[in-house]
Amino acid sequence: MLPFPQQIAFLLFAAATLTLGLWGFYRLYLRIHRGTRDPELRFNHLPRRLVYALITTLTQQRTFKKRPTIGLFHSFIFYGFVFYGLVNLVDAAEGYLPFLTINGLSSNRIGALYAIIIVVATYSFLADLLSFLVLLGVIALVIRRFALPSRTDFRFNPRTLLHKDVKHQKITRDSLIVSAFILFHVGSRAIGAGAKIAAEGPDPLQPFATLLSHLFTPANAEAFRIFGYWGALGSVLAFLAYFPYTKHIHIFMAPAKYLVAREPSSGVLPLAALNLETEAETETETNPQTIGAAKLEDLAWPRLLDAYACIQCNRCQDVCPATATGKSLSPAALEINKRMELNDLAAQRSPFAFTSAPFEKNSPSPRPLLQFALSPEAAWACTTCGACMEVCPTQNEQMLDIIDIRRNQVMIEGEFPSQLQSAFRGMERAQNPWGINHEQRLAWADGLNVKTTDENPTPDVLYWVGCAASYDPQAQKTARAFVELLIHAEVNFAVLGKKECCTGDSARRAGNEYLYRQLADKNVSTLNTIQPKLIVASCPHCMNSIGHEYKQIGGDYKVLHHTEYLETLVATKKLTATPSDATITYHDPCYLGRHNGVYEAPRNLLNILSNSTPELPRNRENSFCCGAGGAQFWKEEEEGNQRISDNRFREAQKTLAPAAGEKILAVGCPFCKSMLGSTPTKADSEDIAIKDVAELLLEGVRRSKGLTAAPIPQPAASAAPQPNLEPVTATPAQPPAVETLPTEAPPAATPAEPPVERRKWQPKSAAPTQPAQNPPIAAQLTEQASATEAIRTSPAPERKKWQPKSAGTLPEQIGPGTFSEVTPIAQTTPARAAAPVSATSPNPEAIAPERKKWQPKSATPTPASEPIPTVSTETATSPASTDAPTRKKWNPKKPS
């Protein structure tokens, strides 16, 4: 027991600190509550959610992923603190109730209640054991963070935008404070237990405390016991006021995040609230539609909860393709920056001021997300591969923050990489991002017996071809191989033909939710009319959109990837293949594997096609992105140390290096095939062939039937126009089919036949080059009527590097700090260039009134000579990061 004066003092101290702590937690709730309403259900199936949160928290299963050793030490701390909730209550009671003193319990006093003795003994043993394990875990993690080479896990790329508090070493300071608190709290409790044993005699059920008891004598044992009481319990109470601001808050916020975890897979984006019926002339600047996120309060509230659930382990940064290749994006920095800003918004001059901060009272936050959370460049570096969400121990949703920021930039601010304008125009005009005439949608099947749903209205299988297989010669090989396999298996199938249009995946990942909805609604209307029994797609992006995201807008269909369907045909003996001697390794596409969980089907097929199928080191849910997702396929990569596709292909090179004979990198996605097949490193490895699983299976089927192993025939050039593609480096930066071509001659070194090898990427070139020029928008308008059916056949002009905040020009950045001669925006990326135009459009030189809301149907492009407003932004510590004025907001729907 404590002396009576100390009992009174402790009660007063506890009342004051508990009040401060509860007030801090309430203000924490107010900050999280500032987020917008989430469009997804977060409290449905509550009993199931509670069970999931409890199991996930107690098993620490997500913490053990990737880092089992570190997870073990973390579990020591976690389990210790879970049990210490009971320990602290019992210890507090012992200061006032002597009959609860554990050593006071004996068989003589308790009599026959041996069960109580067993409980007390178990409690004493666990309290002693966990005290030791907590101290061990904290010391091990402190050594790892500050002394071992793995401390680099907690560093950031110099290009990454970091909050001022991060730059001022607040993470390090906070880690030291938390570690010191745990050591002092648990250490004090251990000292008190040791002093008690020194006074009352040894206890075999408390070996650690018994060991410490030798440090004390009966004379000073009581003083150290009282010190242990105040040190252990007093430190917890004192820490409560600081607790809501420290990284240690994740011990409460992580279970809360498990409780409200998303039910859809990472491949399904939340549906943005759009009023597709709203006309441009009815909207005003005073009543704009809220789309995406510009500030903290625009994010859904679970993603403000993410900031406090984050344990700052940087695992998401470890698996991020952009971070791995030296780009400015860091998912970890995004969450940490959000927390630092939230804490700054909640800062008070005095911790004893019982008033809420303005932000907590619904005042707007002062800074946009792009000034402190991440840079504009980082926002466009994300490939939406979902690796950050998959690996996060607390199931944070970093990727969804980036999507919301993109939505706001595209549809409200009109700020996005200029190369994406061509993809948007292509999807608006020709219903495909290539921009090729929609009438050529079925040209890929020239010479094949492929029926449309008009000819075969009740097929067993509806083959969704997709834009890539319709227009990309490399992807056409996959489509033609799959169709031939269906014919071999005598499957009753059909395609939509010209009724099929782009699923809108690239538009949605690029933040253009409006364009996505236009395309998706059209596809849903078509599919609901046809009512297919089964849809099979050879593109994982199409499969993901149709099979999962279309459910949000009334389209519920059974969709399989072509490898899954081919696996069933092989299993039912409708297809029989003979293996080859080739060595085959398989690359897991992000949208097939991580987002949709399809891992076994392609491997089962490859295992019957070869006896040598080594795995890439990063495989299945740990697979590394090819770099195409998130609309990256249609734009140049942001500045970094290397291409994402190069990083992945080098891994395949090392895996296949020991093999003799034919070497094959198998893929299950047309974009992966294009990216990996055209990456610069591939030019040095001509012995490695990149083929889709369907192509390999067709070769095996042909071998089994004794057919010649001829290459898969391609449609004639006249029947299927083949655009000049540069898949990795922003293909649609070239003018679409309905536009005129540049008048200057292309570089002589560029091949004239597709696929064209991409310009070698030089991230640190000292010599700037002169960028090629696109024709003025007026010339495109004049020529458009006569060029409607023309197909692009000449090489594309050299593209310009996107700079997010340009002062009226778009220079091409060749390396850090090095730029080519600048070109006026009027000649390269007009402010309204992404809007569809027609031969009957009004005068292109007319100036339309500026609007915030982006609507994709413009009657009048805005001349590039219009003044460009500027805003100031906070940049990263990188020397390459600069503040520059923004481009004019793009609002094409307002009539002139």
* Domains of the chain by residue range: 4-257, 420-704, 803-808+832-896
pLDDT band at residue 563 under the 50/70/90 scheme: very high
What is the structure's pLDDT at 113?
Answer: 63
At residue 712 the predicted structure's pLDDT band, cuts being 50, 70 and 90, is low
Query: What pLDDT score does 715 carry?
Result: 64
Q: Is the predicted pLDDT of residue 727 greater than 80, yes or no?
A: no
Mean pLDDT of 669-675: 96
Q: Using the predicted structure, report yes or no on whether residue 851 has a pLDDT greater than 60.
A: no
- The edge-to-edge listing of strands for the beta sheet with 535-537 is 493-495, 461-464, 535-537, 559-561
What pLDDT, in 10s, does the model give residues 351-374?
567 788 899 999 999 999 999 999
Summarised one tens digit per residue, pLDDT across range 14-46 is 999 999 999 999 999 999 999 999 999 999 999
Radius of gyration of the chain (CA): 31
Return the pLDDT at 509. Answer: 97
- What does pLDDT average to over the chain? 80
pLDDT value at 776 more than 70: no
Tell me what pLDDT residue 713 has: 61
pLDDT (average), residues 849-857: 37
What element of type H or E holds 604? helix 600-609
Q: CA–CA separation, 373 vs 338, rounded Å?
A: 6
DSSP 642: S
Q: State residue 449's pLDDT score.
A: 87
Beta-carbon contacts of 442 under 8 Å, excluding residues fewer than 6 positions away, are 450, 452, 470, 495, 497, 498
Tokens 């893929």 sit on residue: 667
pLDDT value for 115: 74
Residue 849 or residue 693, greater confidence: 693
Mean pLDDT of 515-541: 96
When comparing pLDDT for 891 and 229, which is higher? Answer: 229
Provide the pLDDT for residue 686: 87
| pLDDT of 242 over the 50 cut | yes
Percent of the chain with pLDDT over 90: 64
Residue 660, pLDDT > 60, answer: yes
Please spell the DSSP secondary structure of 304-369, one letter per residue: HHHHHH-----HHHHH-HHHHTT-S--HHHHHHHHHHHHHHHH--S-TT-----GGGGTPPPSS-H
Count Cβ atoms below 10 Å from residue 446 Cβ, excluding itself. 17
- Using the predicted structure, report yes or no on whether residue 846 has a pLDDT greater than 50: no
Residue-level pLDDT at 796: 38
In the prediction, which pLDDT does 714 show? 63
Is pLDDT at 107 greater than 80 in this prediction? no
Residues in the chain: 896
When pLDDT is averaged across residues 243-259 and rounded to a whole number, the result is 92
Inform me whether the pLDDT recorded for 632 exceeds 50: yes
Task: Report which secondary-structure segment, H or E, holds 525.
Answer: helix 513-530
Of 311-315, 585-589, 863-867, the range with the highest mean pLDDT is: 585-589
What's the angle, vertex CA 797, arms to CA 791 and CA 799, rounded to 5? 120
Mean pLDDT of 5-12: 92
pLDDT, tens digit, for every residue of 452-469? 999 999 999 999 999 999
| C-beta atoms surrounding 103 within 10 Å | 15
Confidence of residue 836 (pLDDT cuts 50, 70, 90): very low
- How sure is the predictor about 145, in pLDDT bands with cuts at 50, 70 and 90? confident
pLDDT tens-digit map of 824-833: 323 233 332 3
Q: How far is residue 362 from each of residues 36, 154, 462, measured CA to CA in Å?
A: 11, 34, 51
For 292, left (φ over 0), alpha (ψ -120 to 50), or beta?
Answer: left
Q: Which residue reads 């299963």 in tokens? A: 61
Give SS3 for 16. Answer: helix
pLDDT at residue number 720:
37
For residue 745, the model assigns a pLDDT of 36
In tens, the pLDDT along 423-440 reads 999 999 999 999 999 999
pLDDT at 733 over 50: no
Using alpha carbons, select from 690, 708, 460, 709 the residue that is nearest to residue 569.
460
User: Residue 286: pLDDT band by 50, 70, 90 thresholds?
Assistant: very low
Confidence of residue 104 (pLDDT cuts 50, 70, 90): low
In this predicted structure, what is the pLDDT of residue 864? 34
Q: How far apart are the first and last CA of the chain?
A: 84
